[in-house]
């Protein structure tokens, strides 16, 4: 079951968002449309726009502006994917060739820029200054998070705190913007807006922790990307950071060496170390704490099926296998 199918009341709105996204990819440049449609239609769960819809509904919103707002969030997310794949030299995403693998780096970066600018065009049409402030700030923080991740790449001395700063910036910030702007659109109380903002942040943290965990657990078929991609790129994610803490001197040195040079020459020994040191359980426990914090934040919201679905999404985030 896809996340949007958890709540029948949300499905028509979710389909309206899909239609809106596809109808707003138009460009006078055919390659822009081709790449835009390719990445947008590549099979993602549309989790971030779903969070906009659920948050607005959970606060009693009755209008239609949450449809373009959800599309804005998806445009921004899709732009970051295009840019990420170029930076990471990735050639597989969601089981398909990345846009940069198919069309090259330059077109992918420029179409990412197009999607950012299209998001801001739609945001101006909504015309809510609070929403503009949250989303423009989030876009800036996301960019900073990506640069920080780049600086941490191939640095085995990256701390857990530094790693958390990266995932809050590059992932949790857009989750947070999605849920908070849904509340803003519904003219929710300060308490409800804060509750949804915190829910989004903690959910985003949980989601990214599990993503990083699965790089050391899943097959390429399950993940839709290459197993060990993070290791190949020299990314010191939490499973590796914890394995270095808990491992022997010899294991620590092997991991440090692998982070510095990147590549997959020592993938199997690294997988064994991550398993043996309990780094898998450590990372999963961190994700479960984040998901629990997300659910706890929802206490300020009135009871509704939409609130229940938000709780379910937190559970799904930590229990998923792809």
Structure-block tokens of residue 241: 């950071």
The pLDDT of residue 97: 86
Q: Which residue has the tokens 């998001």?
A: 119
**Per-residue confidence band for 262, with pLDDT thresholds at 50, 70 and 90:** confident
Structure tokens at 162: 């530094």
Tell me, what's the pLDDT at 95? Answer: 73
Write down the mean pLDDT value for the chain.
Answer: 92
Looking at residue 226, its pLDDT comes to 55
* Helix, strand, coil tally for the chain in percent (to 5): 75, 0, 25
Beta-bridge partner residues of 96: 93
The pLDDT assigned to 88 comes to: 82
pLDDT of residue 90: 82
pLDDT of residue 225: 46
In the chain, the percentage of residues whose pLDDT exceeds 70 is: 95
Neighbours of 199 (CB within 10 A): 33
Please count the other Cβ atoms lying within 10 Å of the Cβ belonging to residue 21.
24
Mean pLDDT, rounded, for 31-42: 87
pLDDT at position 320 is: 81
State what percent of residues in the chain have pLDDT above 90: 76
The predicted model gives 273-299 an average pLDDT of 96
Distances (CA, A) of 201 to 165, 217, 306: 12, 25, 18
Measured CA to CA, the distance from residue 294 to residue 289 in angstroms comes to 9
**Domain made up of 8-319: CATH architecture:** Orthogonal Bundle (1.10)
Chain centre to alpha carbon of residue 98: 17
* Segment 195-237, tens digit of pLDDT: 999 999 999 999 999 999 988 985 444 444 456 788 888 999 9
Instruction: Locate the domains of the chain by residue range.
Output: 8-319
When pLDDT is averaged across residues 82-92 and rounded to a whole number, the result is: 86
pLDDT range class, residue 285, cuts 50, 70, 90: very high
């Amino acid at each position: 079951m896809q996340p949007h199918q958890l709540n029948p009341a949300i499905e028509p709105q979710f389909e309206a968002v899909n239609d809106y996204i596809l109808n707003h990819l138009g460009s006078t440049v055919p390659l822009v449309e081709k790449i835009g449609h390719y990445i947008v239609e590549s099979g993602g769960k549309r989790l971030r726009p779903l969070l906009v819809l659920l948050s607005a509904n959970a606060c009693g919103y009755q209008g239609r502006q949450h449809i373009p707002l959800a599309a804005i969030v998806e445009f921004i997310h899709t732009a970051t994917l295009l840019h990420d794949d170029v930076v990471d030299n990735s050639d597989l995403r969601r089981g398909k060739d990345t846009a940069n693998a198919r069309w090259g780096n330059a077109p992918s970066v420029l179409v990412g820029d197009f999607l950012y600018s299209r998001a801001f065009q739609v945001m101006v049409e909504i015309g809510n200054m609070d929403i503009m402030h949250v989303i423009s700030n989030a876009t800036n923080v996301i960019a900073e998070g990506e640069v920080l991740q780049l600086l941490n790449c191939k640095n085995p001395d990256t701390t857990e705190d530094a790693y958390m700063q990266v995932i809050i910036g590059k992932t949790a910030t857009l989750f947070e913007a999605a849920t908070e702007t849904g509340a803003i659109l519904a003219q929710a109380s300060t308490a409800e807006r804060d509750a949804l903002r915190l829910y989004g942040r903690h959910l985003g943290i949980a989601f990214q922790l599990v993503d990083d965990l699965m790089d050391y657990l899943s097959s390429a078929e399950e993940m839709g990307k290459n197993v060990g991609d993070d290791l190949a790129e020299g990314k010191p994610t939490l499973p590796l950071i914890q394995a270095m803490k808990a491992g022997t001197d010899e294991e620590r040195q092997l991991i440090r060496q692998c982070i510095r040079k990147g590549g997959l020459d020592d993938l199997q020994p690294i997988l064994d170390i991550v398993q043996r040191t309990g780094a898998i359980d450590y990372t999963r426990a961190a994700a479960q704490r984040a998901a629990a914090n997300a659910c706890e934040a929802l206490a300020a919201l009135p009871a509704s099926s939409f609130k229940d679905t938000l709780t379910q999404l937190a559970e799904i985030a930590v229990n998923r296998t792809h």
